[in-house]
Structure 1
Amino acid sequence: MKAIIPAAGLGTRFLPATKGTPKELLPVLSKPVIQYVVEEALEPEEVDGVIVVNSPEKPQIESYFHVDGGFEETLRARGKEKEADEIHAAGSLPVSFCYQREAKGLGHAVLCASRMLRGDEPFFVLLGDYFVPDRQMCVRMAEVSKMHGGASVIAVAPVPEDQVSRYGIIAGECVGSLGDKNATGEKEGAVWKVTGLVEKPAPEDAPSHLFIVGRYLLSPRVMELLATQGPGAGGEIQLTDAMQRLLAEEEMYALVVDPAEGCDTGTPAAWAATNARMALADPDSRDLFLEALGNKAIEQLR
């Protein structure tokens, strides 16, 4: 199967930096965000390629995933073998591209990739401003799908009651677990059968405290539904609207994950925090990061 990564947005939250550099290429340590997402998407053994839904205004993303033999030769001539190997590895990833020429919503972005899919196979969707360092979330989602006859699976995480009105919340019930056999309710590892998707409910109306975290494993039927999906919230074609229609025809499940398992890069503050988190976790970067930060800044953070 394929994995789809929507990446056609303008990155307005990061302006003026994104005037010249797509936000997907902003680095976390020495690697751009989108490479983390691509590598995560390729982790499940079922995935044999990634489709990036790009904008024609951001050719830099495509250039990054192409092998540049001349640049590699220059690096090797200067003794930069490790760096040349890393550049070659990025350019050799099985990434292809299609275009979303108008900003018509997440559902429309996913639909733009339809011609590049095998029509009878499910597909992953990974939002590009969130990545999971250990790359295991999609692997576990594939396991849940196998447990339930190839059904669609979404990753969800608990959110405090006073924040449910900010998110799309699932309705349903816990029907089992993955890994930790004692996982129930809204605990990590619990598996829910989804009966509905409620967009930004009032706290008193929320059917659960579980929101979609940007990882989807979807039936091929979703792509057919998107082809006839009318505009929804904001006048855009919404993926959740097509998923709601899918529930009338097919079963859907949700895997509860730890919200701290992934790294958010959707805002400048979140991106900076993710760089700090990854630097602290990297043995080669930790001491240098703490030294650069300085004792005064460390005390302020505490």
Structure 2
Amino acid sequence: MKAIIPAAGLGTRFLPATRCMPKELLPVLDKPILQYVVEEALEPEGVDGVVIVNSREKPQIEQYFSVDEDFENMLRERGKGEAADRVHEASTLPVSFVYQDNPRGLGHAVHCAADKIDGEPFFVLLGDYFVPDKQMCVRMAQVSREHDGASVIAVAPVPEDQVSRYGIIAGQCVGHLDGAKDGEEEEGAVWKVTGLVEKPKPEDAPSHLFIVGRYLLSPRIMELLATQAPGAGNEIQLTDSMQRLLAEEEMYALVVDPAEGCDTGTPAAWAATNARMALKSPQTAEAFHEAFGDKALG
């Protein structure tokens, strides 16, 4: 079973920094964003590899996940064995690459990895959001097992005045991951999805639950993407093929707390994520508090 991470975007929100460095390699503390996402993708049982959909204009990503013996040996010769071990760690991750030569939308990017999934279900993780404890996809896999291998998406509540910014699900709550019957839009609730509505008006929204950027999808979606007509923005939209999939197969949604993950999609969000992770790290929390005092928490 594979996990797909689209990483072919231009990163224009981070210009001029991303003129020479892919957005996915920007660090959160001392590790690139993309490595956090790869490690999260490998956490669910059965996932044995990650397929990164890359651009040929971003060879630095492949270089990062490759062995650099000369550099590692230089570090060890200088007595920096621990640093060499951390550098080597990325090259041990089971990562492979395909290319999206023409940016034609998320659905097109996912379909670029069609030959890699071997007719199996697969995860899709968007690369500008990662979950430090790596458990979101694990819980999604649990929901899928409990519903005969159905596709599962992660969703989260959004205020009513913001539903027009997102893809919103239609459906009904059918239970709770741990068996409890809590609120329909509370964390852990499981919904049976009946529709996907892109950026509805608040008065037309079928729920307040938006897709977070974590998907566990049936292999049938790849066949649907192969014939998917362009949608919004004249791009191949993953949600359009997911809507078609609903006519053939069941799909479920797991309600999650969006604050469980870390957003890195904009410079402000990336900076906030670095601060959040710094406060959690024993190596950096003390220095962070010394620099910012109580303001670090406010």
TM range (shorter): over 0.9
Measured in 2, the distance between the counterparts of 1:146 and 1:300 equals 42
Greater CA drift, 73-82 or 263-272: 73-82
* Structure 1 residue 228: Cα displacement: 0.3
| Residue aligning to 1:146 | 145
| Residue aligning to 1:219 | 218
Identity, in percent, stands at 77
Measured in 2, the distance between the counterparts of 1:48 and 1:29 equals 27
Secondary structure of the 2:187 match is coil
Secondary structure of the 2:273 match is helix
Secondary structure of the 1:249 match is coil
Provide closer, same or farther for how the CA distance between residues 183 and 46 of structure 1 changes in structure 2, counting only shifts above 3 A.
farther
One-letter amino acid of the counterpart of residue 53, structure 2: V
One-letter amino acid of the counterpart of residue 132, structure 2: P
Task: Number of aligned residue pairs: give it.
Answer: 298
The alignment's TM-score, normalised by the length of structure 1, stands at: 0.97
The ranges of structure 1 where at least 4 consecutive aligned residues each deviate by more than 2 angstroms after the TM superposition are 298-302
The reply on whether 1:137 has 2:136 as its aligned counterpart is yes
* Structure 1 residue 117: Cα displacement: 1.6
One-letter amino acid of the counterpart of residue 44, structure 2: P
| Residue aligning to 2:260 | 261
Secondary structure of the 1:283 match is coil
Measured in 2, the distance between the counterparts of 1:100 and 1:272 equals 28
| Residue aligning to 2:242 | 243
The reply on whether 1:96 has 2:90 as its aligned counterpart is no
| Residue aligning to 1:109 | 109
One-letter amino acid of the counterpart of residue 203, structure 2: E
CA contact (8 A) 2:289 2:296 kept: no
One-letter amino acid of the counterpart of residue 73, structure 1: N
| Residue aligning to 2:10 | 10
Residue by residue, what CA displacement relative to the aligned partner does 1:188-244 show, whole Å, maximum 9, x if unpaired? Answer: 000000000000001111000000000000000000000000100000000000000
Unaligned stretches of 5+ in structure 2?
none
* Structure 1 residue 291: Cα displacement: 2.1
* Structure 1 residue 290: Cα displacement: 2.1
Equivalent positions of 1:1-302 (< 5 A) are 1-119=1-119, 121-179=120-178, 181-292=180-291, 294-295=292-293, 298-299=294-295, 302=298
Residue by residue, what CA displacement relative to the aligned partner does 1:86-118 show, whole Å, maximum 9, x if unpaired? Answer: 111111100000000111000000000011220
The alignment's TM-score, normalised by the length of structure 2, stands at: 0.98
CA contact (8 A) 1:176 1:184 kept: no
Output the aligned Cα RMSD: 1.1
Measured in 2, the distance between the counterparts of 1:258 and 1:68 equals 39
Greater CA drift, 264-273 or 180-189: 180-189
Secondary structure of the 1:90 match is helix
Provide closer, same or farther for how the CA distance between residues 250 and 17 of structure 1 changes in structure 2, counting only shifts above 3 A.
same
Measured in 2, the distance between the counterparts of 1:44 and 1:105 equals 26
Unaligned stretches of 5+ in structure 1?
none
Secondary structure of the 1:156 match is strand
Measured in 1, the distance between the counterparts of 2:141 and 2:121 equals 10
CA contact (8 A) 2:288 2:296 kept: no
Measured in 1, the distance between the counterparts of 2:248 and 2:118 equals 21
Measured in 2, the distance between the counterparts of 1:63 and 1:180 equals 45
Residue by residue, what CA displacement relative to the aligned partner does 1:261-290 show, whole Å, maximum 9, x if unpaired? Answer: 000000000000000000001111101122
* Structure 1 residue 183: Cα displacement: 2.9
CA contact (8 A) 1:180 1:189 kept: no
CA contact (8 A) 1:26 1:33 kept: yes
One-letter amino acid of the counterpart of residue 4, structure 1: I
